[in-house]
């Protein structure tokens, strides 16, 4: 379909996410809990499990490795910070900023 062609041709190269601030300061433990919760629940809202797994691996990897992961999984990156992606069937995957980078108001523990 035309839509599919359009998103395929518009796949962007990954870039480091812009700095962002959470609505309240959170600890590294809270951030980890939020991330785990997102990855546990997101696949239930649709999309393919293999794509969710690849997105998680990419989100947790260095940029160059992340690029390799999304490329090999056939993921179309609509926003270069990976917040919006599509799979080859045209299903949409939305990732919150907090799974992709740390907020500027993160409280480091220990």
pLDDT per position as a tens digit, 73-96: 999 999 999 999 999 999 999 999
Range of the domain at 70: 26-107
* Local confidence band at 110 (pLDDT 50, 70, 90 cut-offs): confident
Residue 6 belongs to a domain: no
Residue 19 belongs to a domain: no
Residue 18 belongs to a domain: no
* Local confidence band at 11 (pLDDT 50, 70, 90 cut-offs): confident
Distance CA 40, CA 34 (A): 10
Residue 39 belongs to a domain: yes
pLDDT of 12-50, one tens digit each? 899 988 999 999 999 999 999 999 999 999 999 899 999
pTM above 0.75, yes or no: yes
Residue 4 belongs to a domain: no
Q: Answer yes or no: are the C-beta atoms of 20 and 103 closer than 8 Å.
A: yes
- pLDDT score for 12: 87
CATH number for 99: 1.20.225.20
Residue 3 belongs to a domain: no
Q: How many domains does the chain have?
A: 1
Whether the per-residue pLDDT at 7 is higher than 80: the answer is: no
SS3 content of the chain, % helix, strand, coil (to 5): 45, 10, 45
């Amino acid at each position: 379909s035309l839509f599919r062609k359009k998103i395929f041709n518009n796949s962007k190269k990954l870039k480091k996410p812009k700095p962002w601030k959470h609505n309240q300061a959170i600890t590294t433990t809270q951030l980890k809990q939020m991330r785990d919760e997102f990855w546990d629940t997101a696949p239930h809202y649709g999309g393919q499990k293999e794509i969710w797994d690849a997105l998680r691996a990419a989100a947790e990897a260095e940029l160059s490795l992340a690029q390799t992961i999304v490329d090999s999984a056939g993921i179309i990156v609509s926003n270069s910070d990976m917040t919006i992606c599509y799979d080859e069937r045209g299903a949409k995957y939305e990732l919150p900023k907090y799974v992709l980078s740390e907020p500027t108001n993160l409280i480091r523990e220990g």
